[in-house]
Amino acid sequence: MDAILFSAADFHVLKPVILLCLFGCGILITDAFLIRNRADRWKNAIPALAAQVAVAASLVQHLGDVRSGGAFSGLNGSMQVDGFAVFFNWLFVLAASLAIVISARYMGAEGEHRGEFYALLLFAQAGMSVMAAGYDLVVLFIGLETMALSFYVLVGFLRDTRRSNEAALKYLILGAFSSGLLAYGFSILYGISGSTNLGEIAKAVAARSEGDLALFLALITCSVGLLFKIAAAPFHMWAPDVYEGAPTPVTAYVSVASKAASFALMLRIFLTAFESAAEAWMPLLGAIALVTMTIGNFAAVTQTNVKRMLAYSSIAHAGYILLGLVAGNETGLRGVAVYLLAYVFMNYGAFALVAALRREGEAAEDIDDFNGLYHRAPGYTILLAIFMLSLTGIPPLAGFYGKYFIFLAILREGYYLVAVFAAIYVAVSAFYYFRLIRACWLLEEGEQQKPAQLDMNFGTRAALVACALLTLLIGIYPQPFIDLAGESVLAALR
Amino acid sequence: MSEHILSIIWLTPLIGMFAVMCLPKENKRLIRYVANGFAVLGMLVTIPLIRGFETANADFQFVERIDWIPTIGAQYYLGVDGFGYIMILLTVVIGWLSIWCGWESIQKRVKEYYAFFLFLQAGMLGVFMVLDVFLFYVFWEIMLVPMYFIIGIWGGERRLYAAIKFFLYTLTGSVLMLLSLLTVYFKHIEQFGAASFALEDLMRVAAFSSADLQFWLFWGFFIALAIKVPMFPFHTWLPDAHTEAPTAGSVILAGILLKMGLYGLVRFAMPLFPAGATAEFTVQAIVVLSIVGIVYGALVSLMQKDWKRLVAYSSVSHLGFCTLGLIALNPNGIAGGMLQGVNHGLSTSLLFLAVGIVYDRRHTRAIADYGGLANRMPVYTVLFAVAMFASAGMPGLNGFIGEFTILRGAFEVNIWWAACAALGIVLGAAYLLWLFQRVMLGPITNPRNEDIKDMNLREILVMAPLVAGCFWIGLYPKPCFEILKAPTAKLVERLDPGYFSRNGLENPLDKYAQSKVATLVKE
């Protein structure tokens, strides 16, 4: 073999990942040597944001190349840059930028503001980037673990808070367990096909007969491992505790970016490697989606802590997104992409407000803490109402279009009963989202304690307004976003 | 200008909302003037519509059509026919009066109040003019949000409960409707290969889909509309929402929101799924539910101790008449049903305004707290009597015309339907007259009512247009029937092709078609 180990083309493919790693290491160094003063720690956010700009620039390049010359691969076919990868990378850039922007004030207020925080955010993003573009089991697994390891640390970043420590430990143990299952599934797939390349595996799987035991085992273990990662029922138990314990910006990042990355991985594997076994996994995933929506929606109704409520709601959303994969048609996958895009903005908006709410310096995270917020911050409660309505799926807001495509997709496949359940759960979800609106708008603050206030810096404000505007914009003029999502989906189907 | 008149009509209140939001919240007076100014302006901008509307024209008029989301085939597509036209007129008038009637009674969070009201107004107007089913769904849903806040912030004691109950009930219905409309949408794609949400495109699907499918899709739509109307047994949100809402909210709910259910039936559900609407089970079920609603609503009204709740339950009874008329599926029934919708909007709004007036003075809604009000409030008593008689269906007032036409329509189909419904009229007279007797007549039983003041000029002026409307439709209903004639004929022909020739009636559509040909020839 006289192949060059690392060509310029490989570099081009890996550019976003390399940039993220370099900036991450850079932050570690500058934080250690240049930033002496505790109060200056927020300056670490600047290189982190610069990294996002750099990644965005390379994504623009990638998108241009994909549009003109189609998908291209690197590293001997183990990474593939196509519309799908680029779309998901855009989601990660958005999610990471928002996380960076809302972190500065929050971590400062919690007294845990360190440079590593931003470095870890970038490392996690590098892992996700690999997950979206990987076309090889080993590469995908490395991406997944890079992301997961960074998140274990980020979740436990509030070292003096017991809930945060507990969350990190739980996440680590269950995450490691699910990664193990997934690795097991990957090894069976390798056994079946003798290759780690997804394309080769797809051919080998297609050649297998129906009801093949090895294939069945691989399917089950891979599914369980991935369902853990997206927090689908009955593998969702870790999510509420982790979401509640983690620093709020990290919660937002986990719930949006890690979920999107896991869905990217799931779509890649199920639509390439397991594509020919679709008849086996569709009913399985369909049942899981239904159970996930049921548990997520009904459990969210009884929560009193906002972060837990949003955690259960994000479980319910995972169920909806999963339905898009179950339908398996173009509309459904477009729905997945639109849903995830809308979810970035509406969920970040909600979490940014939760992160900013404090009572006498303590984070205020109960629904009751929002009581009468309208009188103190009318503008922000309007934004909160927009996010909640969008999460419910009220048109014309961004969240509606995700549900629209997914409903349409499952109706097309003739799953009428599933559609009816999914639709009625929208009304259930309205109940708990409206509890927050009710607290802000309809209730008055209690008199026994000082009311909670929003504590925001310029970055948080800008992030909130941007999220709200985009939620509205995607709602009122969704055309370009739907087309962008459609483009990425077609790449995954081919 | 006049080609965009529909956009102007629904955007005017929306602009008003933004204007109100920009005002300082301390200056309540200014906010009231601006909001009421926009409400009046909202009426004035309908003048070109009234001048340009051709009643004989059976097609949609003032059509505006622009692509909105081409990928999925959703368009910004507006247009009106008689059904939409009459509802738009009702909406601008009742919307204006309801904004006006809160002048004194709303003192807290004035700015948001008017912002939500104008937003609601824009949403309601949108519903009555869209011809794109996707956009219809958007307007239909978005309108729930301001209503939730209006009930929840300015409502009575149990406002929180009533607000979320209203929202969840209606939302559950609407998501089922969404599934129905998505199904017909992709059937259209399968059949014709093009994505479109335009009403006339989706109507073509009916010819290619089985009666069974149409039946289910109709019911998906119908449940949403039945919740909105509301029909028995989907009515349980109504007494709470109407009772707890502030006066203006009740007026809007009764006057316009309930009419959306009727309008949705004649505009979307029936034409989209004719086989579903005319299926034997559907007709039987709706007739039975309507009659049960008429009688049950009236009986429950008889039992009420709360004045406002009585009026609320009377809506269930009256709307039963409307749905009975619509499902008779003949011109009299449908025209009567829609007209009765307008009538109910006028008379029940009056009744709610009347309750609001004494509530503002005494802050109680219990019937037992009143009695002998006629001694202190003569003007009020007279206006209330007009509203009551209009609602009870006294000849010479509007309710009589509507109920009579509906009964005629029902009679043409089945004499028993008419007979059972007529029972509702008797009961209606009973609970209304008994109410009148208890609160107005006799000596003053409660000493705290001794110094109660009669209506002031503003209150009289708010009620006056509605009273005039009651008399106008009661004495000279012809213009309303003229407006409803063409769309009704079109709907009947859609549901039951050849109805007019079979029954030896003159089809108004033929006349219009001839006149159209004549003008073409002339040119």
* Helix, strand, coil share (%) of chain A residues, nearest 5: 80, 5, 15
CA-CA distance, A204 to A276, in Å (whole number)?
A: 10
Average pLDDT estimate for A76-88: 90
Question: How many secondary structure helices (H) and strands (E) does chain B include?
Answer: 25, 2
pLDDT > 90 fraction of chain A, expressed in percent and rounded? 66
Decide if B69 and A478 are in contact by the 8 Å CB cutoff.
yes
Find residue A418's DSSP bridge partners: none
What's the Cα-to-Cα distance from A41 to each of A33, A114, A152, A223, rounded to whole Å? Answer: 12, 6, 22, 41
User: Per-residue pLDDT tens for A300-336?
Assistant: 999 999 999 999 999 999 999 999 999 888 889 999 9
* Rounded (5°) CA angle A355-A356-A362: 85
Short-list A145, A124, A142, A125, CA closest to A134: A142
Residue B1 in this model has a pLDDT that exceeds 60: no
Q: Is B436 on the interface with A (CB under 8 A)?
A: no
User: Looking at the predicted structure, is the pLDDT value of residue A494 above 70?
Assistant: no
Q: Which residues contact A124 (CB under 8 A, 6 or more apart)?
A: A146, A147, A150, A151, A154, A253, A257, A258
CB-CB under 8 Å, A441 with B186: no
Q: Give ipTM to 2 decimals.
A: 0.93
Task: State the average pLDDT over residues B125-140.
Answer: 95
C-alpha of B445 from chain center: 37
Pick among A323, A388, A411 to test the B interface (most B CBs inside 10 A): A411
pTM of the complete model: 0.94
Q: Please check whether residue B47 touches A, CB under 8 A.
A: no
Mean pLDDT throughout A7-13? 88
Count Cβ atoms within 10 A of the Cβ of residue A48 and give its class: 0-12 exposed, 13-18 middle, 19 or more buried.
Answer: buried
Whether B96 shows a pLDDT value over 90: the answer reads yes
Instruction: Describe chain B by its helix, strand, coil percentages, rounded to 5.
Output: 75, 5, 20
Mean pLDDT of B230-244: 90
B141 alpha carbon, distance to own chain's centre: 16
- In chain A, what is the straight-line distance between the N-terminal and C-terminal CA atoms, in Å? 30
Q: Is the pLDDT of residue B449 over 90?
A: no
CA dist A177 → A171, A226, A239, B139 (Å)? 10, 11, 15, 48
CA–CA gap between residue B466 and residue B480 (Å, rounded): 15
Give the Cβ contact number of residue A6 at 10 Å: 11
Q: Where are the beta strands (DSSP E) in A195-268?
A: none
Distances, alpha carbon B392 to alpha carbons B336, B427, B430, in Å: 16, 9, 9
Nearest chain A alpha carbon to B213: A416
Partner A contacted by B176 (CB < 8 A)? yes
Query: What average pLDDT does the segment B7-18 reach?
Result: 94
Question: How far from A404 is each of A314, A338, A395, CA to CA, in Å?
Answer: 18, 10, 10
Task: Output the pLDDT for position A4.
Answer: 67
H or E segment and range at residue A358: strand A357-359
% of chain B beyond a pLDDT of 70 = 100
DSSP B373: G
- Mean pLDDT score, B503-519: 82
Q: How confident is the model at residue B453 (pLDDT cuts 50, 70, 90)?
A: confident
pLDDT in tens, B295-309: 999 999 999 999 999
What confidence tens digit (pLDDT) does each residue in B358-383 have?
898 888 889 988 888 888 888 999 99
Identify the DSSP state of B77. E
* pLDDT tens figures, A98-129: 999 999 888 888 888 888 999 999 999 999 99
Is A154 in contact with A124 (CB distance < 8 Å)?
Answer: yes
pLDDT in tens, A215-225: 999 999 999 99
Q: What is the pLDDT of residue A339?
A: 95
Is the pLDDT at A227 greater than 80? The verdict is yes
**Cβ-count burial B320-342 (b if 16+ within 10 Å, e if not):** bbbbbbbbbbbbbbbbbbbbbbb
**Interface of chain A toward chain B, CB-CB under 8 angstroms:** 385, 389, 394-396, 404, 407-408, 411-412, 416, 419-420, 423-424, 426-427, 430-431, 434, 438, 441-443, 478-479, 482-483, 486
Choose the closest CB to B69 out of A420, A430, A479.
Answer: A479
Q: What are phi and psi of B63, to 5 degrees?
A: -70, 135
A22-47 confidence digits (pLDDT tens): 999 999 999 888 887 877 888 889 99
Distant-in-sequence, close-in-space partners of B67: CB < 8 Å, separation ≥ 6: B75, B76
Q: Who has greater pLDDT, A107 or A387?
A: A387
**Beta carbons of B137 and B181 less than 8 angstroms apart:** yes
Q: Which residues have CB under 8 Å from A361's CB, separation 6+?
A: A109
Pairs of CB atoms within 8 A across A/B: 74
- For residue B138, give the nearest of A396, A438, A442 by CB distance: A396
Q: Quick one: CA dihedral B338, B341, B343, B345, positive or negative?
A: negative
The pLDDT tens digits of the residues spanning A139-151 come to 999 999 999 999 9
- Hey, which residues does B74 pair with through a beta bridge? B69
The whole-angstrom separation of Cα A147 and Cα A120 is 9
At residue A114, the pLDDT reads 84
| Region A182-194 average pLDDT | 93
Q: B158: nearest CA in chain A?
A: A442
Residue A1: pLDDT band by 50, 70, 90 thresholds?
A: very low
pLDDT of residue B181: 92
